[in-house]
A and B are shown apart, each in its own frame.
Chain A
Amino acid sequence: MTISAFDPIAAWQKMIQDWEAEINAWSGRLTESEQFSAVLGQTSKMIVVAQKAMTEQLEGLLQSLNLPSKTQVEALADRLDSIEDSIAQLRIALDKLANDGTPTPVKTEPRRTRVPANKARKD
């Protein structure tokens, strides 16, 4: 099937690509300016400070409602991660003991004698 006339789908796709390239180029020019860096730096600082203040406020509120705060949930997640870490380390250590010092060997350890096909042909 050969269609050389106007293709609305292809035109739509091209329009998206052009729009994307234009916005990205504009953003590239904007981010190169010193004013942009200054605004970004200041904004980041304000967001961090505001987040910190809001977290503290919320924690007080959650405490009064007898609900766990984000910090407490994070602490719990950390403890779970830590337990998971310990279990993984134990499993690796047990595997080593069971396999003469080698952690989790594959069913049959492959021979380490492979040579590239072209080299093998020459030999």
Chain B
Amino acid sequence: MPENEDIARRIELEIDRALKRNIRGLDFLIADREPVGTMPKSAIYRSGTAVLYRYEPVLDEVYRKPLLIVSPPSNRGYIFDLAPGQSFVEYMLRRGYDIYNLDWNPPRRDEAELGLSDYVNRFLPESLAAIAGITGEKGISLAGYCMGGTLAVMHAALHPKAIRNLIAFATPLDFNFMKLFQSWADKRYFDVELLVSKLGIIPADVMLGAFDLSRPANRTAGRMTLWNNMWNDDFVKSYRMFDRWAAETLPLPGAYFRELITQLMWENALANGTMEIAGRRVDLSRITCPILNIVAQHDHIVSHEATRPLMEMTGSKQRHEIVSKGGHVSLVAGPAAVKRLWPLIDEWLGEKST
């Protein structure tokens, strides 16, 4: 049984937290958006929706091979650079990497016809050319998160010589295992043509609705947990950054969305080996560079099985897999990523970047 003194201290603590909750709760409601993406960077290539940033190196000596991170077209790239101390970019810059990020702006209506081939065969090669212009390096380390990873893998399969190392964060390749999206976009009932022809650009709400469907209680439970932890500045800051990132989901070009549904979801063309980009077959066995496949233990969007082709169908002799604690988003910037995953990535990539 706790002693009276302990109980008194606990009551005091809870009263203090309750007061802080109320004061900071009001602050939270009127606060500006949490600043994100704070590492200095500059745009070195831009073409409509595509923007390539270079982060300013922080060391005088960097690894020879640059690292390009491809963001998913439906989300902002600052998930890799949330805040000082919670930024993969900051960590890797301090470990001596020269880092680039292919990020996306909301597509304009005249970009509704952009398809997978524009992403894989235009924006990516043009980004590599811009990086080569600065560094003089032809071979680079290519990384991608979620669908950004899928685009990176397709590019690596089509242009294997340009890629020195390949890192995939929660990257879906076998879409038969994207269970929720399979139900949501069921071929028998989902009229993708109607959606694309009527809307042109697919609004972010469509994608957000699909994500919410997979975890309908998350938003409410998240708010309740936030209220409990309102006294904790670090928790509130982190919550607001992730919340902002999720709310800033981007719209998608209709043609890209159509191909995503018909070729990847319905035909599972990538895993079946029938995927074609601009008339060329995307053959995963052509990828022979070292591969690092990073999956989240509790990912409700991209299951471990959905990432398997990277470990089973590629031609690489050096394939390494890390199953990290956390979910689809915390995989990249959560506490387990900061403590364990990032050092492992550095250890794996450093020796291959000279």
On A, residues with C-beta under 8 Å from B are: 1-5, 9, 12-13, 16-17, 19-20, 22-24, 27-28, 31-34, 36-38, 40-42, 44-45, 48-49, 52, 74-75, 78, 81-82, 85, 88-89, 91-92, 96, 101-106, 108, 110-116, 118-119
Contact = CB atoms under 8 A, between A and B. Distances in A.
A103 to B, nearest CB: 4
Contacts of A92: 43-46
A106 B109 CA distance: 34
Given A20-B221, A31-B184, A110-B61, A104 B44 contact: yes
Given A38-B188, A49-B198, A27 B215 contact: yes
A41 B221 contact: no
B186 A4 contact: no
B235 interface: no
B124 to A, nearest CB: 17
Main secondary structure of the interface of B (DSSP, over half): mixed
Give the 8 A-B CB pairs with smallest separation, nearest first: A41-B189, A37-B186, A23-B217, A20-B221, A116-B350, A88-B46, A103-B44, A112-B64
Contact of B195 (A12, A40, A48): A48
10 contacts: A3-B2, A34-B188, A41-B189, A48-B198, A52-B198, A75-B109, A106-B54, A110-B60, A111-B60, A114-B61
Contacts of B57: 106, 110
Given A44-B195, A78-B110, A105-B134, A110 B183 contact: no
Interface stretch (B6-14, B69-77, B336-344): B6-14
Nearest to A18: B221
**What range describes how many residues of B lie at the interface?**
35 or more
Given A2-B6, A110-B57, A19 B217 contact: yes
Interface in B48-71: 48, 51, 54, 56-57, 59-64
Nearest to B203: A51
A82 B228 contact: no
A27 B354 CA distance: 48
Contacts of A106: 54, 56-57
Given A102-B134, A106-B54, 10 more contacts: A13-B228, A31-B180, A37-B189, A40-B186, A49-B198, A89-B47, A92-B43, A103-B134, A108-B60, A114-B354
